[in-house]
Amino acid sequence: MTGDRGAAVVPGITTHSSTVAVRSLARSGVSPIVASDGAPSPSLHSKYRSETVEVPAPEESITAYADALLDLARRDDVRTILPLREADAYALALRRREMVDHLNPVWPGMDTLRTAQDRRTLLSIAEDLDVPVPDTRLLTEWRDDDNPLVVKPRYSIVVDEETSVAQEPDVRVLAASERPSVRSIIDEMGHIPVVQEYVPDDGEFGFFALMDRGEPVATFQHRRVRSFSYTGGASVYREAVDLPTLTEHGLALLSALDWHGPAMVEFRRDARDGSFRLMEINPRFWGSLALPVHAGVDFPRHYFDLAVGTRPDPKDVEYDVGVGSHLLTGELAYLYNVIRGDGYGDPPPLGRELLSILGSVYRNPHFDLFSVDDPMPFLANAGGMAAQLRGRLADE
């Protein structure tokens, strides 16, 4: 599908945000170019994809990937590139200076990016802004106690010479009785991670923004209802909310960082006192990108508009509170994990969770990937998930 407003590069990642971006841009008159590194991305099956370009995998060489994005930026028809994962944000920051000659970068520079990706530094800045945070220290500085703890990589992405390694899957929740040796954890993560107090969960929330050098262009909020696991992880169902405290905390952080481009600020509401405690900032578009589009805030379109020098009209960034969006294959994965008890602590009752899913689908029949108009990305994703499940069952 060819657009009349030029082209935008969309990284072809395995999560559904790439498909959401492709559909949104194409419907806005933009030609979506999918940059594929060989990953099984649902976006490769979208009828709205105008072109596919092969690029190196950032996990193999972040500099080769950054150079490939720079080559795409040099094309006369390319007006912008969307960051959909940490590796994209890092690669774009790495070549930001060279790209300025070819397009308008709508993403932060390397110094800002490093600050956001360093959890210890970021939480220190938040404390200075009176944004609540969990008690967080380096693993080597933590005074052991008998409470549950969360061990996280200090950095959301680690770059070793030319290779980028995404660290998020290594987050660990340690029960009060579980205390592996400090040296084993450091060896496992490849650096000294941070340790946080376990914040009793009264809800997980996201504040999302497209910023123009510290000023908000479009904002959105959601409450996470279900994740792949009943103990957390990527969300599979969430609903739009509008809470003044989230806006206050989120904008305080992003403005202090003079943020440019998209960002997701994650919070957990503390069951002990009701405060919203900062978890992290993701310097990119988010996996639940379909929800704000369904609710009325088309972030990919606004991002493209900002890249070509057009600020969106304020009426275009209002959204409907209460709208929800499902990742259907993720909902099935959630039920599978409940059945297996695959998570921290006891699983919730299966019958209750099944009724909850059915009720939310009835109230909010909006989906991250499934689309009657563009069905192939969903079918490809479902087929891949079924193959993974068969392989897992065969190994047991």
**Nearest-5° Cα angle at 221, 31 to 342:** 95
Give Cα separations from 252 to 126, 179, 248, 352 (angstroms). Answer: 9, 36, 6, 39
Burial of residue 141, with CB atoms counted within 10 A of its CB: 0-12 exposed, 13-18 middle, 19 or more buried: exposed
Nearest to 307 by CA among 265, 260, 256, 264: 260
Question: Is residue 72 within 8 Å of residue 149, measured between CB atoms?
Answer: no
Burial of 153 (0-12, 13-18, 19+ CB in 10 A): buried
Dihedral over Cα of 338, 206, 41, 88: its sign:
negative
> What pTM value is reported for the model?
0.91
* The two structure tokens encoding residue 212: 């123009």
User: What pLDDT shows up at residue 153?
Assistant: 87
Widest CA span in the chain: 61
pLDDT given at position 169:
45
Describe the strand order of the beta sheet including 201-212 as a list of residue ranges.
276-282, 261-270, 201-212, 215-229, 232-240, 324-326
Mean pLDDT per 10-residue run, the chain (396 residues)? 83 95 97 96 97 96 96 97 96 96 96 93 95 91 80 82 61 77 83 88 94 95 90 87 97 97 96 95 95 96 95 82 94 87 79 93 94 94 77 62
Alpha-carbon gap, residue 322 to 291, rounded angstroms: 11
Domains of the chain by residue range: 7-105, 135-197, 201-326+328-366
User: Residue 242's pLDDT is what?
Assistant: 97
pLDDT at position 1: 54
Is residue 54 a contact partner of residue 65, using CB atoms and an 8 Å limit? no
Which CATH number is associated with domain 201-326+328-366? 3.30.470.20
The structure tokens listed for 57 are 């995998």
Candidates 1.10.3470, 1.10.472, 3.90.25, 3.40.50; CATH matching 7-105: 3.40.50
Among residues 361, 363, 343, 359, the alpha carbon closest in space to that of 351 is found at: 359
Which pair of structure tokens corresponds to residue 240?
């739009």
Cα-based angle 116, 122, 123 (whole degrees, multiple of 5): 150
Q: Which amino acid is at 289?
A: L
The token duo for 24 is: 């949104």
Q: Residue 221 corresponds to which tokens in the numbers above?
A: 């909020």
